[in-house]
Amino acid sequence: MKKVDYFKPKALDEALSLLNQYGGKAKLIAGGTDVIVMIKQKELSPDVLISLQYIPNLDQIEHNGELKIGPMVTHRTIEKSGLIREKFSALTDAADVLGSVQIRNVATIGGNIVTAAPSADTAAPLLALGAHLKLKGSKAERTIPIEQFFTGPGETVLEKNEILTDIFIPKPLPNTGSAYWKLQRRGALDLPILG
């Protein structure tokens, strides 16, 4: 494996500055469960990895009618959240069946979205719940519906100098609920056939 520089910015502006400096040679890393595998399998070959782990507030969940989830929130945190289970249960259902507990402890919702794998367990619930994504660049930010984010397998509208900073899920309508069911061949650690 080639030498890769690893940066641990402590602020969002610092991470954005590094993205601008290194351009297409850099790759953001959240939990790393997908990115590290892709590097080992030679699907990715970045010169620079920029960790989002040390940036404050990217791992927060806020609720004031609308749910706001930071991209560094782990699937285990979502799985264990009573608030999310009560109001947005499709998302906790998806987190419950994503990988093993060890993976859920590390894998992040932001990484699951940005990787844009067709098998991403959280994509279908977020689409069904009408989620919006906030994308921030060094000069501007934009908020888009999640259905406009994905352009194909492994492809998104995220620019090379942008970071997913927030996931917003609107307040559910009264007397409604949601659920996620994963059709898979095996009982555990399997990719969904349909989700």
Q: What confidence category does residue 192 fall into, taking pLDDT thresholds of 50, 70 and 90?
A: low
Q: Is residue 188 part of a domain?
A: no
Contact (CB, 8 A) for 126 and 113: yes
Q: Is residue 31 part of a domain?
A: no
Q: Whose structure tokens read 């919702």? A: 109
Q: What confidence category does residue 143 fall into, taking pLDDT thresholds of 50, 70 and 90?
A: very high
Contact (CB, 8 A) for 109 and 93: no
Q: Is residue 35 part of a domain?
A: no
Assess whether pLDDT exceeds 90 at residue 134. Answer: yes
Total domains present in the chain: 1
Q: What is the mean pLDDT of residues 111-128?
A: 93
CATH number at residue 146: 3.30.465.10
Q: What is the mean pLDDT of the chain?
A: 91
Assess whether pLDDT exceeds 80 at residue 178. Answer: yes
Assess whether pLDDT exceeds 70 at residue 140. Answer: yes
What's the sign of the alpha-carbon dihedral 144, 148, 154, 160? negative
Assess whether pLDDT exceeds 70 at residue 189. Answer: no
**pLDDT, tens digit (0-9, with 9 covering 90-100), for 18-51:** 999 998 899 999 988 888 888 888 888 889 999 9
pLDDT on residue 193 = 58
Q: Is residue 30 part of a domain?
A: no
Assess whether pLDDT exceeds 80 at residue 17. Answer: yes
Which residue has better confidence, 60 or 31? 60
Residues of the chain with pLDDT > 70, as a percent, come to 93
Q: Is residue 189 part of a domain?
A: no
**Percent helix, percent strand, percent coil in the chain, to nearest 5:** 30, 25, 45
Q: Is residue 126 part of a domain?
A: yes
Largest Cα–Cα separation, the chain: 54
Q: What is the mean pLDDT of residues 112-124?
A: 91
Rounded Cα–Cα distance for residues 79 and 88 (Å): 11
Assess whether pLDDT exceeds 60 at residue 190. Answer: no
From residue 27, give the alpha-carbon distance in Å to each of 4, 13, 78, 157: 10, 16, 25, 15
Structure tokens at 40: 């080992």
Q: Is residue 34 part of a domain?
A: no
pLDDT on residue 166 = 98
Domain that holds residue 164: 57-169
pLDDT on residue 33 = 81
Q: Is residue 19 part of a domain?
A: no
